[in-house]
Amino acid sequence: MERLLAQKKLTTRWYERFPRGVPVGIFTLTMAVTVLSVFAIERAEYQRKTAQIEQVAQEVASGIERQSNVNVAYLRSSAALFATQQMVEAPLFRTFVRQLHLDGRFVGSDGIGWAMKVRRADVPVVEAIMRDGGVKDFTITSAPQTSVQGNAQQSVVPIMFVEPQSERNQRVIGFDMFSESARRSAMLKAERSGQPTASGRVALHYEGEADGQPGFIIYMPVFTISEDRPGGNLRGYVFSPFNAQRFLQSALDAERLEGAVVRLHDRGAVVDGKQAVALMAQTAPDHASRRKVTRQIEIAAHTFVLEVEAPATPMLSSISALTLLFGLLVATLLLVLARLLTQQAMEDRIALSWFEQQSSIRNSLTRELNHRVKNTLANVLSIISLTRRRSDSVPEFADSLEGRIRALSATHDLLTQSDWGTTPVSAVVLAEIAPYAQDEQRHLEIGGPDVELAPNDALSLGLAIHELATNAAKYGALSVESGSVKISWEMAGEDVARIEWAERGGPPINPDTRRKRGFGTELIEKIVAHELRHPVDLKFEPEGVRCSLLIPVRRRTDFAIRQGRDQA
């Protein structure tokens, strides 16, 4: 174990210094990588959706332009025919339009009409002719909001015929389109250019609603055959009204939209006297999507704005949500794993430190035990040597030696019970005096404060009490019933205790005995005094033996090897 501890580096590793910061850091780093991955996925998804919506916008714009070109082609052919006629009459107009077979091909339009330019002075004559031709109650009407300046125009352009002859188309017969500003602007532009021209956003009142449906009208000017260039005599306009919503729907492929919203705006609309971009039609209700693509499209020389908005999508795509969930799980697992590893490293560090302390304690205890065994053996050898010199026979030697060894053993038992810590003075005295205290005829008085002794000092005190008790039992106060022994102790200073042994009522002491030094006297005055590092005051007074010992009272840390370490 010592070899392994010596080979093991006990320096603290970096991840052990931050047992909580390392797992949190790993979790944060993993989640940061996950968030970056989700961001990259969402960005790629956004670019894909944007490219997809741009493609849809391009297809829708192409479809609208293609549809408008088809409608313009019909208007051109109609204008070419009517320019060759002296008079555009109802039978000719109806026959020609019906021969075009517009059903299913002229998609998005509400029909084709003929509006003739009429001088204002000829209005009554034209009304009479139309009535005679079969159009009952034909009357040229103007727009309600026509201004005074509009009434002062020299000409009017009323609607003469409209095909197909539906109920809603018949309601607009006789309406002077020149009286409304948006229509008038488109007709003047068509007259100047000689080309099909679309109006801006207009309200198609023939829908039967007060405000009308938003739409636009394409005008194709018709000039006299001899002056078919712009600037010649204008005979009228072949026109086609378009409901913006139906026109937009007819130009779309709903399956290709994939939920996208398509809007058609008039860029040149006039709202509250100001030019603005006005909504004309859209394919679905508005939804919260930030991916929009706009295209400018030309329909008969008029600019419209096409807007395509991608369908609303969840905050995160399915693959992003799965990536985020997987990253969260991985980050949590790594957090737990890192926490377990750092916790295990800390526990291993504590265990290694504990083993190191235990190894050091064991070595110290071994050295302490060797020292104490040597001291005990030295005491035993001294006791054997002195006992042998003072014994007259082998039995006497054996009895004396056995008693002194037993005294050491009794004190050793006390020290073992206290784990070789401090031992109370009272426990040492009672252990040595116990054989005599059991006799009721013995008069013993033992008392003093609580004083703790170090192990070696307790051994020395036990040996001294044993010798004094043995001597008293043989020759002194414990040998007769009238004798008494008083053992008391007190603190004689901050770090020293005084123990008094006093005999009374025993046999008189022979003066020759005072001068004769026995083995017990030598043991107390030499061995015990040497171990306690204080002189022993042993007196043989007429009243009995009196002995005073000074024993050092040391702090536990001066001799307790394991103090503090066991607590750690």
pLDDT single digits (tens) 501-550: 999 988 887 766 554 556 567 667 766 777 778 888 888 888 888 999 88
Residues ≥6 apart with Cβ < 8 Å to 543: 503, 504
The answer on 289 and 406 residing in a single domain is no
pLDDT single digits (tens) 465-478: 888 888 888 888 88
**Is residue 254, in this structure, part of any structural domain at all?**
yes
The confidence band for 243, taking pLDDT boundaries of 50, 70 and 90, is: confident
Instruction: Write down how long the chain is.
Output: 568
Instruction: Give the whole-angstrom CA distance, residue 221 versus residue 236.
Output: 6
Q: Tell me, rounded to whole angstroms, the distance of Cα 390 from its chain centroid.
A: 89
pLDDT at 562: 44
Among 309, 339, 369, the domain boundary falls at 309
**Is residue 439, in this structure, part of any structural domain at all?**
yes
Residues ≥6 apart with Cβ < 8 Å to 208: 168, 171
pLDDT single digits (tens) 335-380: 898 888 888 877 887 888 888 888 777 777 677 667 666 666 766 6
Among 278, 309, 340, the domain boundary falls at 309
**Is residue 479, in this structure, part of any structural domain at all?**
yes
Closest CA relative to residue 419, chosen from 376, 368, 383 = 368
| Of the candidate ranges 16-20, 144-148, 322-326, 506-510, the one whose mean pLDDT is the lowest | 144-148
pLDDT single digits (tens) 45-61: 888 888 888 888 888 88
Q: Exposed (0-12), middle (13-18) or buried (19+): which is 11, by Cβ within 10 Å? A: exposed
Residue span of the structural domain in which 292 resides: 48-309
**Is residue 39, in this structure, part of any structural domain at all?**
no
> At 220, is the secondary structure helix, strand, or coil?
strand
pLDDT at 156: 92
DSSP, residue by residue, 442-482: -EEEEE----EE-HHHHHHHHHHHHHHHHHHHHTSGGGSTT
The top-scoring range by mean pLDDT among 12-26, 380-394, 537-551 is 537-551
**Is residue 8, in this structure, part of any structural domain at all?**
no
**Is residue 134, in this structure, part of any structural domain at all?**
yes
The answer on 223 and 76 residing in a single domain is yes
Which residue pairs from 161-168 have beta carbons closer than 8 angstroms and sit at least 24 positions apart in sequence? 161/88, 161/90, 161/93, 161/94, 161/113, 161/114, 162/111, 162/112, 162/113, 162/114, 163/93, 163/94, 163/97, 163/98, 163/111, 163/112, 163/113, 164/111, 165/94, 166/111, 168/110, 168/206, 168/207, 168/208
pLDDT single digits (tens) 185-242: 999 999 998 899 999 888 886 544 445 788 899 999 999 875 445 446 889 999 999 8
Among 255, 284, 309, the domain boundary falls at 309
The answer on 530 and 433 residing in a single domain is yes
Query: What percentage of the chain reaches a pLDDT higher than 90?
Result: 11
The confidence band for 290, taking pLDDT boundaries of 50, 70 and 90, is: low
Count of the separate structural domains present in the chain? 2
Q: What is the mean pLDDT of the chain?
A: 78
The answer on 401 and 292 residing in a single domain is no
pTM of the model: 0.55
**Is residue 31, in this structure, part of any structural domain at all?**
no
The answer on 275 and 171 residing in a single domain is yes
122 has a pLDDT exceeding 70: yes
Query: What percentage of the chain reaches a pLDDT higher than 70?
Result: 75
CATH number at residue 492: 3.30.565.10
More confident residue, 513 or 422: 422
CATH number at residue 222: 3.30.450.350
32 has a pLDDT exceeding 90: yes
**Is residue 407, in this structure, part of any structural domain at all?**
yes
Instruction: Give the whole-angstrom CA distance, residue 437 versus residue 430.
Output: 8
The answer on 527 and 395 residing in a single domain is yes
The answer on 304 and 395 residing in a single domain is no
Structure-token pair, residue 389: 């010199």
Listed in order, strand segments (DSSP E) in 102-188 are 112-116, 118-119, 155-156, 159-163
Instruction: Give the whole-angstrom CA distance, residue 292 versus residue 286.
Output: 12
Mean pLDDT over residues 110-130, rounded?
Answer: 89
At 407, the amino acid letter reads A
The answer on 224 and 82 residing in a single domain is yes
The answer on 410 and 262 residing in a single domain is no
| Of the candidate ranges 63-77, 114-128, 531-545, 551-565, the one whose mean pLDDT is the lowest | 551-565
The answer on 195 and 67 residing in a single domain is yes
The answer on 395 and 304 residing in a single domain is no
